[in-house]
Amino acid sequence: MLIVEQAPNCQTLRVPVVKVFDGDGFLTKIEFPRHRETAEMTVRFGFIDAPEIGQLGGVEARDFLTSIIGGKSVDLVILTKMDTGGIVDKYGRIVAVPFLPGKSIPSPWVARATLPRNIELEMVVNGWAWVLDRYCPDEIYNHALRDAQQHQRGIWARDDNIHPWEYKKQRYRAKRQKAHRPEQPTLFHHASLREYCPSACGGREVIRSGKFGNFVGCSNFPNCRHSRKISNTVQSPVQTL
């Protein structure tokens, strides 16, 4: 694992990591002293995009992030949304860049303090995230991305990975196609079938297959022998009994 030490260039807010959702977000608790209450909020990373859980590398990216910050506290550089001017996006998530605080390493001579670690850059350079160019991050992000691609780390070890936003588009298109797909006729949903058997046996009419082709029978067969021909104006369904 590659570590990226980088000090934040502005004031930060220290928060605990309650749960890691995926490779670019986690749940935290923020205290509001004025209201004397604590609220759970989701933090969304500002300049990177990790694979979705359902796509290639999604689970691995989440596990990698968990290994870095899981159960720890991080310092957030909170970003302001350019479109709204607020610190949360349309989903109510805080948009921020997380830093793992530095620590003092004792030695026989003098204690050495390590710099904070930029978690976004570590996700990118280790091959578990893309860079969101449209938000104009520092050029070091693109350097980290090219380095991960060149050395085939993480998702870049395979050629069949796709960007998360393209994966979301594919899922959305598939969902719309499924919603507009005409319903296929089934045994119990056919224009020529009655909801109840005319013999009053408690069954219902279904399409059955016999020696001379399809016909309408009863779902209680063989206890009920009701049968009739299928109307010529209605095609027989594919599924038969």
- pLDDT computed for residue 136 by the predictor: 67
Q: Is the pLDDT of residue 112 over 90?
A: no
Query: What is d(CA 234, CA 18) in angstroms, rounded to the nearest whole number?
Result: 60
Domain residues of the chain, as ranges?
A: 13-104+113-166, 184-241
Q: What is the pLDDT of residues 192-229, one digit of tens each?
A: 677 778 887 878 888 887 777 788 888 888 888 888 88
DSSP β-bridge partners for residue 42: 27
Q: What is the pLDDT of residues 135-166, one digit of tens each?
A: 767 889 999 999 999 999 999 998 888 888 88
- pLDDT computed for residue 146 by the predictor: 94
Q: What is the pLDDT of residues 64-94, one digit of tens each?
A: 999 999 999 999 998 876 555 677 888 889 9
Give residue 232's pLDDT band: very low, low, confident or very high (50, 70, 90): low
- pLDDT computed for residue 76 by the predictor: 93
Number of other CB atoms surrounding residue 183 within 10 Å: 6
In the chain, pLDDT over 90 holds for what percent of residues?
A: 37
Q: Is the pLDDT of residue 111 over 60?
A: no
Average pLDDT of every residue of the chain: 81
SS3 97: strand
pLDDT top residue among 129 and 79: 129
Query: What is d(CA 238, CA 99) in angstroms, rounded to the nearest whole number?
Result: 60
- pLDDT computed for residue 38 by the predictor: 86
**Architecture of the domain spanning 184-241:** 2-Layer Sandwich (3.30)
Mean pLDDT, residues 41-52 taken together: 93
Q: Tell me whether domains 13-104+113-166 and 184-241 share a fold.
A: no
| CATH fold label, 13-104+113-166 | OB fold (Dihydrolipoamide Acetyltransferase, E2P) (2.40.50)
For 97-122, letters b (16+ CB in 10 Å) and e give bbbbeeeeeeeeeeeeeebbbbbbbb
Give residue 105's pLDDT band: very low, low, confident or very high (50, 70, 90): low
In the chain, pLDDT over 70 holds for what percent of residues?
A: 80
Mean pLDDT, residues 13-34 taken together: 91
Query: What is d(CA 162, CA 171) in angstroms, rounded to the nearest whole number?
Result: 13
